[in-house]
Amino acid sequence: MLVAQFYGTGPVTDAYVIANSIPTVFIQALGTALAATFIPVFAQVEKDVGKKRAERFTCNLVVLVFILCLALVVLGEMFSGQLVRLFAPGFVGETLALTDEFVRILLPCLIFMSVMNILGAYLQYHQQFRVIGIVPAVGNLVIIISLFMAHYIGNPAFFVWGTLFGICSQVLFYVYSIRINKLWHISLNPVFIMLKDKYVISLLPLLLPVFLGSAVNEINTIVGKSLASSFDSGSVAALDYAGKLIMMISSVILGGLTAVFFPSLSKTAISKDIREFSALSMKLNSVVVLVLLPIMAETIYFSREIVSLIFKRGAFAGEAVELTASILIFFALGLVGMGVREILTKMFYAMQDTKTPMKNGVVCALLNIFLSVLLVQYMGVCGLGLATSLAAIFAAINLWRKAVGLGWLAYNGQEFGKVILATVIMILGQNFLSISADSSIFSLILTLLHAVCIGGFLYAISLYGLKHSIALSLVEKLKRKWGNMV
């Protein structure tokens, strides 16, 4: 939001977005793979040989990942110019020079983020959710302070350094939290001993498919930004802002659900209790659809208001708002697909099946690239958003079909139909009861609050009237709680 205010959708923002994306390709691929495979293996080690051995496995993994990432950073620093030309072939002049400078600063993020993913998974397993929730705020505070200082002194590189230090501060906070809670005592062994750790070795067959699947997905994202770099200045930034809004929405919902339920899924999978695993999986997917479908509809309906409220100030105005809002609509179309795909992927990881999500990810990434190249010719940058959504929906359907075939899930079209009908009723009711708004911040806040309150009420009443199972269950729990209080 502050980046948009200070730098709008100009060369500095475009350069920062691409520079941040280059290490992110490796961070997301390796970090996602580590976070997804660590918990099932840690749970297995703890069950088989005890907590101390599981802690030693964690320490060995952290050190080895640190060494690997350090080597990748050195290579990246040596070939930063080539990386920039590969990821943003449309950049020239000032934007190209800024991107190269920013890449050199941000590449070490690969080390800190990869280690942070392991430590975060470790804390997640031990149900330290408060720490996990606080850590991003610590990093963001450092980044925000650096952004203000960069704007004040007129040097955007200061903000880029702040991004690096913000990520580093999160790792330090994780380490401090682990030590202060006495979760594990760090002990270091020679590297050749760490390499012989049989549990680290057993992690590799699980890790590689997740890494490849995530890497292809990240490359797909970069292809989108590379295509956007060929359009007018600011197109990359608008695409990035719209994408971050969708990621913010999905991460708030999915991050909370996966943080709480993924350890339980992993433990249930290890116990081989398929009935309990299936029940928990069905519940998770039902909740995701129940929550994300109305949010998707609201995001599409109020796309311009959302973008204006969050970004419209300073250098970000006019055409930037319209372009970002248009891209946001097409990204939002795939919100439910993204959510269901994420939960289904976690299910397969919990069962220590990483190959199925990898194959699905590769197919869908290739589909996304094909659709991006095709649609961008007719829809411009908005075509990239639609391509991402269509690929996400296809990925979710494909994984769902496989999960049903394995007996983990059962199709319940009637419940899904009730959610769709309740969402339609919500939007129609909002349209009838909507209030007019101007472009002021107060008016935008009032409009969106009115939409949340009215829309939420209509949606909840509709679900209960249609006798959706989760709505009925929640009402019964509230009744029992109220009865106990009285």
Q: Note down pLDDT in tens along the chain; length 486 residues.
A: 556 556 665 677 777 777 887 787 777 777 777 777 787 788 888 888 888 888 888 888 888 888 888 888 898 888 888 888 877 777 777 778 888 888 888 888 888 888 888 888 888 777 777 777 777 777 778 878 887 887 777 777 788 888 888 888 888 888 877 776 665 555 555 554 556 677 777 777 777 777 777 777 777 777 777 777 777 766 777 888 888 888 888 777 777 676 666 667 777 777 677 777 777 777 777 888 888 899 999 889 888 888 888 777 666 667 778 888 899 999 999 999 988 888 888 888 777 777 888 888 888 888 988 998 899 888 888 888 899 899 989 988 888 888 777 766 666 678 888 888 999 998 888 777 666 666 677 777 787 888 888 888 888 898 888 888 877 777 777 777 666 554
Contact indicator for 306, 295 with CB cutoff of 8 Å: no
Interaxial angle between packed helices 335-350 and 355-379, expressed in degrees from 0 to 180 and rounded to the nearest 10: 160
Contact indicator for 194, 138 with CB cutoff of 8 Å: no
Compute the residue count for the chain: 486
Q: What values do phi and psi take at 142, rounded to 5?
A: -60, -45
Contact indicator for 214, 32 with CB cutoff of 8 Å: yes
Cα dihedral sign, 410-395-452-3: positive
How far apart are the C-alpha atoms of 229 and 240, rounded to whole Å? Answer: 11
How far apart are the C-alpha atoms of 345 and 281, rounded to whole Å? Answer: 11
How far apart are the C-alpha atoms of 423 and 421, rounded to whole Å? Answer: 5
User: Dmax of the chain from CA atoms?
Assistant: 71
How far apart are the C-alpha atoms of 412 and 178, rounded to whole Å? Answer: 42
DSSP string, 437-461: --SSHHHHHHHHHHHHHHHHHHHHH
pTM: 0.69
